Amino acid sequence: MTTKKWELKDIIMMAILGVVFSAIYLVIFDGGVVLSTVLAPTGLSNFAFEIIYGVWFMAATLAAYIIRKPGVALVTEVLASVVELLMGNSGGVTVVLTGLIQGAGAELAFALFRYKKWDLASMSLASVFSATFIFCYELYYLNYIALDPSLLIAQLAVRFVSAIVFSGVICKLAGDGLAKTGVVKSYAIGAKAKTGKVYDEED
Amino acid sequence: MRTLNPAMKFVTLLCVTFVLAFRYNPVLNLAVFALCMAALLISRVKPKTLGLLMLPILLAAVGMFFTGYRFSADASMPVAAADFLVSNSQVWNGVAQASRVLAYAGVGFLFTLTTDRILMVKSFEKQFHLPQVWAYGLLAAWGVFPQAVQEYKRTRAAFRARGLSVFPVSPALMKPLLVKSVRWSEELAIAMESKGFSGEEKRTEYMEVRVHARDWLFLIFCVALVCVFSI
């Protein structure tokens, strides 16, 4: 458990989480579009996506929380974005780039804690960093720079809250829930968790 | 479009998107969007599929139009707004924001709708020197996807059979999926390793993905085109 080297099962775990989350991302994207359409005439449709923006950082923090090895957050987020591209997302080819930027934000936060602290604080910091990183990129990419600065600050604030709720709190709960079921026993998160008897599918 | 090398196509379209990101020109955006749609139809993408996919994008574009229209940056912006704004008209700002969404989506669909998924991973492995473990790990995970969908449907059906109504992305549905995901990843890893996969040996391939002259031509042509038009 002390090894920092990635094993094949870690890699496949990251890839599968990437697949599951990119499916969620696509569903959420459509939900966001519906919400933003409702808000369109007020000019506030950007907020529809800000409210749910945290969902896009979930893969990184959850995978890092489970596997707890350096680089996991970054790579999982990139993998999720590659799978999103494979599934035909509408954000275009740069989705891989956004994955890289968001993942780098989360990774930086975990690195600041030297990959030793795995709790709500480090996960929330990872989410906030992801949100900040991607916002800087969007200033240019989505030309947000041509929008009113006070609107942008409001957007960023909503995004922070969303990031902490979704990829901080919800991911933490999901990770702990998984640890309790005992399936993640062979990963760092499950090593210390108290579990009941684990029943296999075939039992 | 379908015969181009996926990795090269990816790089090309990424370059195009970047040029667009640093331009503030609705006409260019709309021209790129129109070209992408034309290229998609030439590559025999069904108009109906395309239309359905474009629906949310159009809605998003409308949303962006109103945002750009209502909240234009004024002269107090730290970055000289004059560099970005061709005119001060709010409508222009709205159109620019909306056309950007359309152009990005057009370029994105041009890639995803004309690229074979397995070929793409193989091409990334070859041209971007993606390590084998990643390439095959990704393909293995991709193979799990239909099962994940099945599992999701089964759980949902189980809830419905017991008369419980659950929200489509509720934790109650996600939890079994996550548990299964962990199990699948372990089982797949064991299966791959027990069949001799280590990711380090040199291997031969049944189908080599190569870069042809036409891929370079496509890259040069596309980048030149957007550069010329954006001046």
Whole-number average pLDDT of chain A: 81
Q: What is the pLDDT of residues B142-158, one digit of tens each?
A: 888 888 889 889 998 99
Residue B21 CA to residue A142 CA, distance in Å, equals 7
Whether pLDDT at B30 is above 80: yes
pLDDT of residue A104: 92
**Residue B64 near chain A (CB below 8 Å):** yes
Question: What CATH number is associated with residue A68?
Answer: 1.10.1760
Domain assignment of residue A44, yes or no: yes
Q: What is the pLDDT of residues A135-145, one digit of tens each?
A: 888 887 776 77
| B84 closest CB neighbour out of A66, A85, A146 | A146
Show the CA angle centred on residue A165, arms to residues A98 and A53, nearest 5°: 30
Closest CA to B13 of B211, B215, B208: B215
pLDDT of residue B219: 93
Whether pLDDT at A51 is above 50: yes
Work out the burial of residue A74: count CB atoms within 10 Å of its CB; fewer than 13 is exposed, 13-18 middle, 19 or more buried.
Answer: buried
Report residue B72: phi and psi, to 5°: -80, 145
A129: pLDDT confidence band, cut at 50, 70 and 90? very high
Comparing A169 with B59, the larger pLDDT belongs to: A169
Mean pLDDT of A164-191: 84
Among chain A residues, CA nearest to B119: A86
Domain assignment of residue A2, yes or no: no
Whether pLDDT at A200 is above 60: no
Closest CA to A167 of A49, A27, A62: A62
pLDDT of residue B88: 55
Give the residue numbers spanning the domain of A86. 8-195
With contacts defined as CB-CB under 8 Å, which chain B residues touch A15? 137-138, 140-142, 185
Whether pLDDT at B86 is above 50: no
With contacts defined as CB-CB under 8 Å, which chain A residues touch B113? 88
Mean pLDDT of A147-168: 87
Helix (H, G, I), strand (E, B) or coil at A40: helix
Q: Are A164 and A132 in contact (CB under 8 A)?
A: no
Comparing B205 with A169, the larger pLDDT belongs to: A169
Please name the residues between 96 and 155 in chain A that touch chain B, using a CB distance below 8 Å: 97, 140-143, 145-149, 151
Range name among A50-59, B61-70, B187-196 with the lowest pLDDT average:
B61-70
Helix (H, G, I), strand (E, B) or coil at A200: coil
Whether pLDDT at B101 is above 90: no
Domain assignment of residue A164, yes or no: yes
Domain assignment of residue A115, yes or no: yes
With contacts defined as CB-CB under 8 Å, which chain A residues touch B199? 8
Instruction: Indicate the number of domains in chain A.
Output: 1
Q: What is the pLDDT of residues B16-28, one digit of tens each?
A: 888 887 777 788 8
| A16 closest CB neighbour out of B77, B174, B185 | B185
Burial B135-156 (b: 16+ CB within 10 A, else e): bbbbebbbebbeebeebbeebe
Among chain B residues, CA nearest to A83: B142
Comparing B72 with A107, the larger pLDDT belongs to: A107
Comparing B78 with B117, the larger pLDDT belongs to: B117
Domain assignment of residue A144, yes or no: yes
Locate tokens 């992801």: which residue? Answer: A130
Domain assignment of residue A203, yes or no: no
pLDDT of residue A3: 56
A33: pLDDT confidence band, cut at 50, 70 and 90? confident
- Let me know how long chain A is: 203
Comparing B84 with B32, the larger pLDDT belongs to: B32
Domain assignment of residue A1, yes or no: no
Domain assignment of residue A3, yes or no: no
pLDDT of residue A107: 92
Whether pLDDT at B76 is above 50: no
CB contact under 8 A, A37 and B184: no
Q: What is the pLDDT of residues B178-211, one digit of tens each?
A: 888 888 888 999 999 898 888 777 888 887 888 9
Residue A107 CA to residue B68 CA, distance in Å, equals 33
| Whole-number CA gyration radius for chain A | 17
**Residue B46 near chain A (CB below 8 Å):** no
Give the ipTM of the model, two decimals please: 0.75
Residue A21 CA to residue A18 CA, distance in Å, equals 5
Q: Are A159 and A57 in contact (CB under 8 A)?
A: no
Whether pLDDT at A203 is above 90: no
Whole-number average pLDDT of chain B: 82
